[in-house]
Amino acid sequence: MASLAKKILVWLVLWAAVISAAEDNADIHDNSRISIFLQPGISFLSFDQREYFQDAIDTIYHEFLTQALDKRDSNNVAKQDFQKVNFCFPIYTGLQFQLRQDHFVSVGAGFIYDNESVVLTDQNNRSHNYSYTIQGFPLFLEYRFAIPVNLMTLNDGSLFSIALRWYWALPHTEIYTSWGKLNAETPFYGAGFGISVGYLLFNWKSMYVFGDLGYSSISVKSKKTYADIVPDGPEEKAKWNIGGIQLQIRVSFGIWNKPETIEEESAEKPAPTPETTKLE
């Protein structure tokens, strides 16, 4: 947990530093018409079924204790517990279209991977590894739009945006464990939604960097039950969620950009004075 806390702290510090550095860039806009993007992030998955796996580990641990013949055997028995949160680093990539100024439609696909592993030691001092892995391949369609300036109290209000997403679960979205595997169904109508608040941090030539903080719910189910992948698991059909709270950084590269304007040059020319007019 200490290492997890350190990772979260580092991300938050970097996030704050980038935003503070971008405060002076009030007039930045994404000038790309079509761009490709890479979007890494951190996410706390909404996976409430983790308790099934912890219960299984506790049961195995008590079985080892009951099989101990003396105090020395009992002292050999030890266990680790699964983390109480499912923390992972999802990554997405895709294509982004700017319909008009600060209004975007994107399509993207990603990879979510969270492996939780523990080691138990039995009465004979032998080690046993148990694990479960949540794997997801989400596909999403996104609409992002800038928050109108008249609704913001900041001068750079146009830099803030809201993103709405709809997700589909692609094949190989699954849970596999030391005892079995669940494959998620992939209905054509989708698996969930997402919403986030974003900020255009800065740009360099055709590269634009956005930041997002939001929530997603990507709910999937299987024809199998949790009893197929964990001892004493529930007998009803399995359901789980691979969405959650997430912090993302999107780096986009414009492959088709708007033509550059010369407004800045004309603005820099001094206005004619009466003296210069008379000389002419």
How do residues 102-148 score in pLDDT, each as one tens digit?
A: 899 999 999 999 999 999 999 999 999 999 999 999 999 999 998 87
**Measured between alpha carbons, how far is 185 from 218 in angstroms, rounded to an integer?**
12
| Mean predicted confidence (pLDDT) in 158-179 | 93
| CATH number for the domain harbouring residue 255 | 2.40.160.20
Indicate if the pLDDT at residue 151 is higher than 80. no
Tally of domains within the chain? 1
CB 182 within 8 A of CB 228: yes
State the pLDDT at residue 21. Answer: 45
Identity (one letter) of the amino acid at 99?
Answer: L
> Mean pLDDT in the chain?
86
Residue 23: band (very low, low, confident or very high) from pLDDT cuts 50, 70, 90 = very low
How far is residue 223's CA from residue 110's CA, in Å, rounded to a whole number?
24
Query: How far, in Å, CA of 14 to CA of 24, rounded?
Result: 17
Half-sphere exposure of 30 (CA within 13 A, CB side): 36
Give me 61's structure tokens. Answer: 């641990």
Please tell me the least confidently modeled range out of 26-30, 86-90, 194-198: 26-30
Does the model's pTM come out above 0.85?
no
**Domain enclosing residue 239, as ranges:** 2-279
| pLDDT at residue 256, as a whole number | 92
Token duo for residue 1: 């947990």
| Nearest one of 120, 54, 121, 41 to 85, comparing CA atoms | 54
Tokens of 120: 């138990």
| Continuous segment of H or E residues that includes residue 180 | none
Partners of 169 in the β-ladder: 138
